[in-house]
């Protein structure tokens, strides 16, 4: 239709082919922009261009266990400020298993795991264990009117195996003289997902109850009889909180933050111990002397049911895994990044960082473990040269 | 024949049922909006939007915008060109094959796309978790959506226009660019923006491809926070905040995300509505001008 109007004036044949005025230029511009964008995107994708990552800054990426994730993120945040924004540490969750897979695939430079590697695995891949903090699993309960509860390992195992089903069962009454225990059914709450917390908790039950060991055994997840399943520590926490006459196992930090009562447990020395950062550290200190070197076999390390009058019985280490030789032909981690990583790990196991653990309800490492970590870190190499 | 009264009643009942169903369908939408606004609104402040984690969600907003921007850069050209091909040149076996696979791709679960990109770019090619890897995943989700909407809107362009242009001796490619695409432009743009809004809220592929970060990220080669992953992490308790605080931040981030996506959606609707009206007016003006000249 437009053509009709321009056809009368001869000599403008070129314009006839342009039904929409201005369209030509606009399209050339759009085409140029698109091409430029695709080229730039391709350049970024292949790593030829990288905005913002100037020489001075280093980005370190880790993944794995979710249990120490809040603490590692806190450390990352503090370390970023500490280094004036020079070192950015990113940590993604995914669970211990995912972390181990990813460090083996070299998609991350460090991994977090609650369960140690087997001796074969750590020597085959050349990975070292750096215990960075301690956790405790507590038995949270919700019985109206009951503020304190004392349990021993055997009773605890029986409750979760449904051999004890009432709150006023003689076994519980015997441990809690004078407490008014109701005649209600005990509702157990467990983790529905595969979890390090379950692994630690069942590890403890396996040690203290031969019956539990023979029927169930230690596992990241298992089929509990007649229990409510909930996902993650937050899930179990809120389920226990909202279900009267329930009992469940969660990490200490979740119990503390959510102000939920938890049971005192009888330890190896026969004392009833309240889970706290001190009693957790005490358990680690008691085990400290028998720990292997960082590059050794950690698979048998456990500080469950540790000796010592103040040791809380369900405590565990959580580990950072790194390669002993930080350079690899496949990943080509540069020297600056390797140094930044080792510096960060060194900072992480020492006083200043460990004091942050306190605020988030993680137990600080005892001195014996810090010394062990120092030796491990000093043994890390970059192309054969010690990094520190 | 049934009585008039009975028929009236049946009619009434059917109407009530229909209205009831509409109300039921509205419940989730309204309750989500109410809940998100109720929980998220108290969090909103200038600091919350501009500070990085953990005092705000600024870095997640920036990360989301970057991821979506790069995804649009990669996905829109491919999607639009695919749409043009199947609409204008796809009247053959090749075209119907592409159309078929495009439909299949549109129905891929986003987690599968995320997994594919993770396996290919991160595990196999050894790239790090980064914005650009996430953008590749989101662009793959975008391409079939954009291709579909482009094809649909170009098909709406009357054939007489194509014939007219070709009859004037305009080459095929020029016809497509100047006549078909110009007339279907509003539909193409609408589809593109809706696809952008759709991927902005994607979470599953991001968890696998960008990981998470507490820091400002401007390099596309680094892990980054994004609003959906921030909401996921905080809601799961994966942050250095206390559980309650993390929940509040997650609600705030949810509100910001919903506002971003909704504003994109609403602006698309307004834009297409206005264009529609303008087109009508424009057409009338054009006609009168032509008749005057004649």
Which of B77, B118, B247 would you mutate first to test chain A, the one with the most A CBs within 10 A?
B77
On whether residue A249 sits in a domain, the answer given is yes
Distance CA A136, CA A303 (A): 10
Both A113 and A207 in one domain: the answer is: no
From chain A, the residues in CB contact with B234 under 8 A are none
Both A87 and A160 in one domain: the answer is: no
Both A131 and A172 in one domain: the answer is: no
**Residue B293 — pLDDT band, cuts 50, 70, 90?**
very low
Q: Which residue, of A229, A259, A282, is where some domain finishes?
A: A282
Both A79 and A176 in one domain: the answer is: no
Mean pLDDT computed over every residue of chain B: 87
- Does B156 have pLDDT greater than 60? yes
Q: Do A257 and B242 touch (CB under 8 A)?
A: yes
Residue A158 is predicted with a pLDDT of: 93
- Does A5 have pLDDT greater than 60? no
**Residue B2 — pLDDT band, cuts 50, 70, 90?**
low
Both A114 and A181 in one domain: the answer is: no
Question: How many CB contacts within 8 angstroms connect chain A with chain B?
Answer: 141
Q: Residue B81 corresponds to which tokens in the numbers above?
A: 């060109």
**Residue B189 — pLDDT band, cuts 50, 70, 90?**
confident
Mean pLDDT computed over every residue of chain A: 83
Q: Which residue, of A224, A259, A282, is where some domain finishes?
A: A282
pLDDT in tens, A90-109: 998 777 788 888 888 888 89
Both A238 and A122 in one domain: the answer is: no
Q: How many CB atoms lie within 10 A of CB B15?
A: 10
pLDDT in tens, A185-235: 999 999 887 777 888 899 999 999 999 999 998 888 888 998 999 887 878
ipTM higher than threshold 0.90: no
Both A237 and A252 in one domain: the answer is: yes
Q: What is the CATH number of the domain that holds A192?
A: 3.40.190.10
pLDDT in tens, B110-119: 999 999 999 9
Residue B251 is predicted with a pLDDT of: 94
Both A145 and A246 in one domain: the answer is: yes
On whether residue A21 sits in a domain, the answer given is no
On whether residue A5 sits in a domain, the answer given is no
From chain B, the residues in CB contact with A3 under 8 A are 168
Q: Do A45 and B286 touch (CB under 8 A)?
A: no
pLDDT in tens, A158-171: 999 999 999 999 99
Distance CA A105, CA A294 (A): 21
Any chain A CB within 8 A of the CB of B129? yes
- Neighbouring-strand partners of residue A128: A322
Residue B277 is predicted with a pLDDT of: 59
From chain A, the residues in CB contact with B223 under 8 A are 59, 61, 90, 92
- Neighbouring-strand partners of residue A55: none
Cβ-Cβ contacts under 8 Å for A356 (sequence gap 6 or more) = A71, A74, A75, A78
Least confident of A289-293, A337-341, B25-29: A289-293
Q: Could you tell me the residue range of the domain that residue A367 belongs to?
A: 59-135+316-386
Any chain A CB within 8 A of the CB of B233? yes
Residue A26 is predicted with a pLDDT of: 66
Residue A312 is predicted with a pLDDT of: 92
Both A222 and A239 in one domain: the answer is: yes
On whether residue A32 sits in a domain, the answer given is no
Both A131 and A185 in one domain: the answer is: no
Any chain A CB within 8 A of the CB of B242? yes
Higher pLDDT, A11 or B29: B29
CA distance B17 to chain A (A): 37
Q: How many CB atoms lie within 10 A of CB A53?
A: 16
Q: Which residue, of A260, A282, A304, is where some domain finishes?
A: A282
pLDDT in tens, A68-93: 888 899 999 999 988 888 899 999 87
Any chain A CB within 8 A of the CB of B173? no
Q: How many CB atoms lie within 10 A of CB A165?
A: 14
Residue A296 is predicted with a pLDDT of: 78
Give the mean pLDDT of B148-170.
91
**Residue A262 — pLDDT band, cuts 50, 70, 90?**
very high
- Does A59 have pLDDT greater than 60? yes
Residue A34 is predicted with a pLDDT of: 73
Q: Do A66 and B238 touch (CB under 8 A)?
A: yes
> Could you tell me the CA-to-CA distances from A196 to A64, A94, B145, B231 in Å, in that order?
11, 12, 40, 23
- Neighbouring-strand partners of residue A87: A58
Residue B220 is predicted with a pLDDT of: 85
Give the mean pLDDT of B119-140.
90
Q: Which of B189, B193, B185, B186 is nearest to B264 (CA)?
A: B193
On whether residue A42 sits in a domain, the answer given is no
What percent of chain B stands above pLDDT 70?
92
Return the residue of A nearest to B169 by Cα.
A17
Q: Which of B77, B222, B244 sits opposite A53 (nearest CB)?
A: B222
Least confident of A55-59, A64-68, A165-169: A55-59
From chain B, the residues in CB contact with A254 under 8 A are 237, 243
Least confident of A257-271, A291-305, A342-356, B248-262: A291-305
Which of A9, A15, A90, A356 would you mutate first to test chain B, the one with the most B CBs within 10 A?
A90
Give the mean pLDDT of A298-309.
83
Q: Which of B165, B211, B214 sits opposite A61 (nearest CB)?
A: B211
From chain A, the residues in CB contact with B74 under 8 A are 38, 41
Q: Which of B129, B223, B240 sits opposite A74 (nearest CB)?
A: B240
Any chain A CB within 8 A of the CB of B109? no
Q: Are the beta carbons of B216 and B52 closer than 8 angstroms? A: yes
Task: Name the CATH superfamily housing domain B46-293.
Answer: MetI-like (1.10.3720.10)
Is the overall model pTM greater than 0.90, yes or no?
no
On whether residue A131 sits in a domain, the answer given is yes
Q: Are the beta carbons of A75 and A356 closer than 8 angstroms? A: yes
- Does B79 have pLDDT greater than 70? yes
Give the mean pLDDT of A340-346.
92
The number of domains in chain A is: 2
From chain B, the residues in CB contact with A1 under 8 A are 286, 290
Any chain A CB within 8 A of the CB of B95? no
Both A199 and A125 in one domain: the answer is: no
On whether residue A20 sits in a domain, the answer given is no
Residue A42 is predicted with a pLDDT of: 64
Both A176 and A213 in one domain: the answer is: yes
> Could you tell me the CA-to-CA distances from A126 to A169, A319, A324, A383, B292 in Å, in that order?
51, 15, 6, 14, 86
DSSP one-letter string for A256-311: HHTT--B-EEE-TTS-EE---HHHHHHHHHHHHTTPPPTTS--TT---TT--STT-
Q: Which of B77, B178, B241 sits opposite A34 (nearest CB)?
A: B77
Return the residue of B nearest to A331 by Cα.
B126
- Does A14 have pLDDT greater than 50? no
Q: Which of B223, B237, B244 sits opposite A232 (nearest CB)?
A: B237
């Amino acid at each position: 239709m437009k053509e009709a109007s321009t056809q009368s004036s001869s000599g403008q044949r070129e314009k006839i082919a342009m039904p929409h005025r201005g369209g030509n230029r606009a399209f050339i511009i759009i085409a140029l922009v698109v091409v430029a964008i695709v080229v730039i995107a391709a350049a970024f994708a292949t790593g030829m261009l990288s905005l913002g990552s100037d020489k001075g800054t280093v980005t370190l990426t880790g993944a794995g266990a979710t249990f120490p994730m809040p603490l590692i993120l806190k450390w990352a945040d503090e370390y970023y400020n500490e280094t004036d924004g020079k070192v950015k540490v990113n940590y993604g969750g995914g669970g211990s298993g995912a972390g181990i897979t990813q460090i083996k695939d070299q998609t991350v430079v460090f991994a977090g795991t609650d369960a140690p590697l087997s001796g074969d695995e750590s020597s085959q891949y050349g990975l070292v264990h750096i215990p960075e903090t301690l956790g405790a699993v507590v038995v949270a309960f919700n019985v109206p009117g009951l503020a304190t509860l004392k349990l021993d390992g055997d009773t605890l195992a029986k409750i979760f195996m449904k051999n004890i089903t009432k709150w006023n069962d003689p076994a519980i009454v015997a441990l809690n003289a004078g407490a008014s225990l109701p005649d209600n059914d005990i509702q157990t709450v467990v983790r529905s997902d595969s979890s390090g917390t379950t692994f630690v908790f069942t590890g403890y039950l396996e040690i203290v109850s031969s019956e539990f060991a023979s029927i169930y055994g230690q596992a990241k997840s298992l089929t509990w009889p007649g229990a409510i399943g909930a996902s993650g520590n937050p899930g179990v926490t809120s389920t226990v909180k909202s279900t009267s006459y329930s009992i469940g196992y969660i990490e200490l930090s979740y119990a503390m933050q959510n102000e939920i009562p938890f049971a005192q447990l009888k330890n190896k020395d026969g004392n009833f111990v309240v889970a706290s950062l001190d009693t957790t550290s005490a358990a680690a200190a008691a085990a400290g002397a028998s720990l292997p070197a960082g590059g050794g076999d950690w698979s048998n390390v456990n500080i469950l049911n540790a000796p010592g009058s103040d040791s809380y019985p369900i405590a565990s280490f959580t580990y950072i895994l790194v390669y002993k030789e930080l350079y690899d032909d496949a990943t080509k981690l540069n020297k600056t990044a390797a140094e930044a990583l080792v510096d960060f790990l060194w900072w992480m196991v020492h006083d200043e960082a460990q004091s942050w653990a306190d605020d988030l309800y993680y137990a600080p490492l005892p001195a014996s473990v810090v010394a062990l970590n120092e030796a491990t870190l000093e043994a890390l190499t970059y192309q054969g040269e010690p990094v520190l | 024949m049934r009585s008039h009264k009975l028929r009236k009643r049946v009619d009434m009942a059917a109407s009530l049922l229909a209205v009831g169903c509409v109300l039921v369908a509205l419940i989730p939408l309204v309750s989500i909006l109410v809940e998100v606004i109720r929980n998220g609104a108290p969090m909103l402040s200038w600091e919350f939007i501009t500070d990085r984690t953990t005092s705000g969600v600024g870095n997640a907003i920036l990360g989301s915008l970057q991821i979506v921007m790069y995804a649009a850069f990669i996905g829109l050209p491919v999607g639009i060109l695919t749409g043009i091909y199947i609409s204008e040149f796809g009247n053959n076996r090749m075209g119907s094959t592409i159309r078929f696979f495009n439909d299949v791709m549109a129905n891929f679960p986003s987690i599968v796309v995320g997994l594919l990109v993770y396996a290919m770019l991160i595990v196999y090619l050894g790239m790090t978790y980064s914005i650009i890897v996430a953008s590749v995943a989101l662009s793959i989700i975008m391409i079939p959506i954009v291709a579909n909407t482009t094809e649909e809107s170009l098909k709406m362009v009357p054939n007489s226009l194509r014939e007219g242009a070709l009859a004037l001796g305009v080459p095929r490619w020029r016809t497509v660019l100047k006549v078909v695409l110009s007339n279907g432009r509003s539909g193409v743009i609408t589809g593109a923006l809706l696809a952008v809004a759709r991927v902005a809220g994607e979470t599953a592929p991001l968890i696998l491809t960008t990981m998470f970060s507490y820091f400002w990220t401007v390099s596309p080669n680094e892990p980054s926070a994004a609003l959906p992953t921030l909401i996921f992490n905080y809601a799961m308790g994966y942050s250095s905040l206390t559980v309650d605080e993390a929940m509040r931040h997650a609600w705030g981030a949810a509100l910001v995300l919903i506002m971003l996506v909704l504003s994109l959606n609403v602006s698309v609707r307004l834009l297409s509505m206005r264009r529609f009206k303008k087109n009508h007016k424009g057409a009338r003006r054009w006609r009168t001008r032509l008749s005057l000249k004649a």
